[in-house]
């Protein structure tokens, strides 16, 4: 639907951040929500175009993905505008309306090319190109050597102020990751905070005391819980006895810490998804796809990261993996994460959708712009069927053709 000068109203069951609103009305005009509430209380403009959500379906906020590498055959690290548009489009088809393209390990020039192409798309953004860029997640390359996972090991390094300052100065980075135990990590976190970033620790074997120092420097989140992170046994192997706390205990113990899960049903078992939800709650747990270029592609062999020299992995259509070496991130979209979380945990539909929309928006400090169906926010929303399948996607009030 092209953007209409007339207000548009959707009638049906609306998923709000704290409750399900049956018989609700959502009104938007010029790309922004102008009214949202019970149908009986919302003044519907006389000239409004009225649409009705099919019975049993839902009106949900568009999903927000903080950790995502690519899709539709493209990885953001390919470093081209075409790759960014392809991946943004692929994720919009799965309900993501705001995306944070995520770097892998790689050379400074590869990361620079990724930032340049994301900036070009973010500036020129037409909603028909797919999910809007909320900012870049500067993720690789500052990982612990033994925790690089499926990333190319030769593309990893310790934090380099000359490098990251230049990246931060561009103004597009909104989420910044570094392993807490690396030399210079605290300086990296402080610089990231100065640039308004949400700061996270990942691909790390950090101990409790290293996490505590990182927390003092502004770190508030851990990437993909239980994947490429420390545990009590890993810290014992690294630092001996007495056994010390790890990233896992630190996140569970600190209310201010948030984390994220890859809820594709392949990375984490149902009880771990439920455990993460019960421990952290819907306001501190985010759903992320961590999807790579194999999203919506046939099973086969692909590169994780840059097309030129990224690490090889295989996709069987359900998940990415490296034979003999474990999983290599997901190959499914946010709609699958939402359905898997709903099916496997005690989280309600309201809590599940919150973890894929408002919670990530809040964590990065952008919840006044998007993340829920509330007045003043961008008209980013989804029409879902009763099984939480994505039927229609609206970005800034314009329908994205699936």
Binding stretches for Zn ion (CB under 5 A)? 290
* Nearest distance from C-beta of residue 224 to Zn ion, angstroms: 5
Closest distance between Zn ion and the C-beta of residue 296, in Å? Answer: 18
Of 78 and 290, nearer to Zn ion (C-beta) is 290
**Cβ proximity to Zn ion, 28 vs 226, nearer residue:** 226
At its nearest, how many Å lie between Zn ion and the CB of residue 102? Answer: 6
Q: Which residue is nearest to Zn ion (CB)?
A: 290
In the complex, what is the shortest distance from the CB of residue 148 to Zn ion, in angstroms, rounded to a whole number? 9
How far is the C-alpha of 60 from the C-alpha of 42, rounded, in Å? 18
Of 36 and 204, the one with the shorter C-beta distance to Zn ion is 204
Indicate the residue among 228 and 393 with the shorter CB distance to Zn ion. Answer: 228
Task: Name the minimum Å distance from CB 273 to Zn ion.
Answer: 17
Whose Cβ is closer to Zn ion: residue 290's or residue 362's? 290
Q: Shortest approach of Zn ion to residue 209 CB, angstroms?
A: 23
Nearer to Zn ion, 102 or 340 (CB): 102
* Complex with Zn ion: residue 208 or 304, whichever CB lies closer: 304
Q: Left if phi > 0, otherwise alpha if psi is -120 to 50, otherwise beta: which for 37?
A: left
Q: Smallest distance, Å, CB 329 to Zn ion?
A: 5
Cβ atoms < 10 Å from Cβ of 39: 16
């Amino acid at each position: 639907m092209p953007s209409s000068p007339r207000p548009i109203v959707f009638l049906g069951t609306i998923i709000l951040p704290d409750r399900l609103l049956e018989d609700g009305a959502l009104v938007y005009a010029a790309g922004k929500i102008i009214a949202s509430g019970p149908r009986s209380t919302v003044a519907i403009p006389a000239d409004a175009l009225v649409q009705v959500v099919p019975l049993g379906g839902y009106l949900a906020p568009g999903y927000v993905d903080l950790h995502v590498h690519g899709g539709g055959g493209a990885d953001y690290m390919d470093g081209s505008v075409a790759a960014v548009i392809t991946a943004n489009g692929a994720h919009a088809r799965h309900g993501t309306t705001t995306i944070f393209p995520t770097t892998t390990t790689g050379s400074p020039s590869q990361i620079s090319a990724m930032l340049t192409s994301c900036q070009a798309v973010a500036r020129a953004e037409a909603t028909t190109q797919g999910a809007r860029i909320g900012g870049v997640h500067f993720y690789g390359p500052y990982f612990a050597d033994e925790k690089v996972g499926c990333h190319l090991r030769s593309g990893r390094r310790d934090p380099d102020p000359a490098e990251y300052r230049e990246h931060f100065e561009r103004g597009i980075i909104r989420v910044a990751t570094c392993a807490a135990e690396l030399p210079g990590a605290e300086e990296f976190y402080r610089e990231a905070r100065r640039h308004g970033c949400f700061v996270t620790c990942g691909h790390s074997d950090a101990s409790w005391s290293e996490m505590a120092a990182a927390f003092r420097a502004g770190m508030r989140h851990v990437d993909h819980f239980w994947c490429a992170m420390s545990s009590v046994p890993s810290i014992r192997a690294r630092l001996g006895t007495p056994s010390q706390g790890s990233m896992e205990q630190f996140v569970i113990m600190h209310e201010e810490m948030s984390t994220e899960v890859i809820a594709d049903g392949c990375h984490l078992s149902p009880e771990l998804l439920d455990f993460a939800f019960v421990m952290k709650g819907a306001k501190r747990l985010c759903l992320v796809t961590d999807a790579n270029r194999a999203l919506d592609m046939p099973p086969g062999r692909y590169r994780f990261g840059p097309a030129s020299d990224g690490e090889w992995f295989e996709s069987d259509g359900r998940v990415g993996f490296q034979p003999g070496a474990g999983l290599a991130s997901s190959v499914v979209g946010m709609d699958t994460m939402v359905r898997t979380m709903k099916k496997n945990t005690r989280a309600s539909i309201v809590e599940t959708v919150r973890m894929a929309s408002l919670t990530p928006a809040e964590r990065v400090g952008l919840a006044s712009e998007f993340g829920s169906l509330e007045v003043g926010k961008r008209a980013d929303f989804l029409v879902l069927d009763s099984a939480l399948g994505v039927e229609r996607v609206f970005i800034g009030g314009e329908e994205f053709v699936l």
